[in-house]
Amino acid sequence: MAEEKTGPEEARAPEGGGPASSEAKPAVAIAPAPAAAAPVAPAPVPVAAAPVAPVAAAPAAVAVAPAAAPVGSPPMTPVTPDGPAPAALPLGRSNTIGPGVKASLEKKTAGDEERGLSRRSFMKWSLPIGWTAFSAAVASSLVASTRFLFPNVLFEPPQSFKAGFPAEYNVGEVDTRWKDAFGVWIVREPEGFYALIAVCTHLGCSPNWLAAENKFKCPCHGSGFYRTGINFEGPAPRPLERARIVLADDGQILVDKSVKFQQEKGEWDKAEAFLKA
């Protein structure tokens, strides 16, 4: 090491004169060997700096990537120096929201609000309606249960009734005052009384007495009956039936519908089928 230091000093000495330069030549020949090794040390420096250049070029590659976006994609939103850096997007994507996408988002938002409103309206009205329906079902069940305790009963007019005194009837007339209440006509003849049951012998309809035409006429199928009850027109297959008619103990006319007399069987000739006056 001492020789290496003295070497350069001896090398610089010849600059002042000639004799010294001839003696320094051997020292100069020895020094270059270690000096040649010294410049080799900085050689790795460029190797360490080489990766720095690609780092600076990396943003250029990212900036070029959007150029590969498909045709028709919305334009890129310019990035201002003061604004935040945009988030990295996949290749072919853009940060810009086009007018169609914006309208779709607004429509979706409006639809969500309408669905929310309808949902709230449903929840608002569903509970009262549900309770009302439940209360109605319970009430109807109670009514049905109560009705079950009372069996069905067919309330029919009594089969027998008193029709007043004989003097209250005019000869040759058909008395219709008992038809609605008891379904019976009482006919007064010069010889006496008979009671006709107001049921058509065709299908069971209720005929009407037509005084102007002097006949009974069924409104259902047009069957006609004389004042005596004999059928003469329409589909009725037989005459009207007569009911039992007698005088009660108090002198009033007593009619009993539970006992019937049919003309085709010859029952009109029985004593209780005709009341003699």
Range 160-276: architecture per CATH:
3-layer Sandwich (2.102)
SS3 content of the chain, % helix, strand, coil (to 5): 45, 15, 40
Residue 246: which pLDDT band, with cuts at 50, 70 and 90? very high
Residue 125: which pLDDT band, with cuts at 50, 70 and 90? confident
From CA 122, how far away is CA 116, in angstroms rounded? Answer: 10
Residue 6: which pLDDT band, with cuts at 50, 70 and 90? very low
The predicted structure's pLDDT at residue 121: 72
Mean pLDDT of 214-234: 93
pLDDT at 160 over 80: yes
Mean pLDDT of 137-150: 85
Tell me the sheet residues that pair with 34: none
The predicted structure's pLDDT at residue 129: 85
Percentage of the chain lying above the pLDDT 70 cut: 55
Mean pLDDT of 19-42: 44
Residue 17: which pLDDT band, with cuts at 50, 70 and 90? very low
Prediction pTM value: 0.46
Instruction: Delimit the CATH 2.102.10.10 region(s) of the chain.
Output: 160-276
Mean pLDDT of 27-41: 45
The predicted structure's pLDDT at residue 26: 44
Would you say how long the chain is, in residues?
A: 277
Backbone angles phi, psi at 231, to 5 degrees: -80, 140
pLDDT at 12 over 60: no
DSSP 160: E
**Residue 244 one-letter amino acid:** R
What's the pLDDT tens digit per position in 58-105?
Answer: 444 444 444 444 454 455 555 455 555 555 545 555 555 556 555 666
**Residue 29 one-letter amino acid:** A
| Torsion angle defined by CA atoms of residues 229, 231, 233 and 234, in that order, rounded to the nearest 10 degrees | 100
pLDDT at 220 over 60: yes
Mean pLDDT (the chain, rounded): 72
CA neighbours closer than 13 Å in the CB half-sphere of residue 162: 8
Q: Which helix (H) or strand (E) is 82 found in, with range? A: none
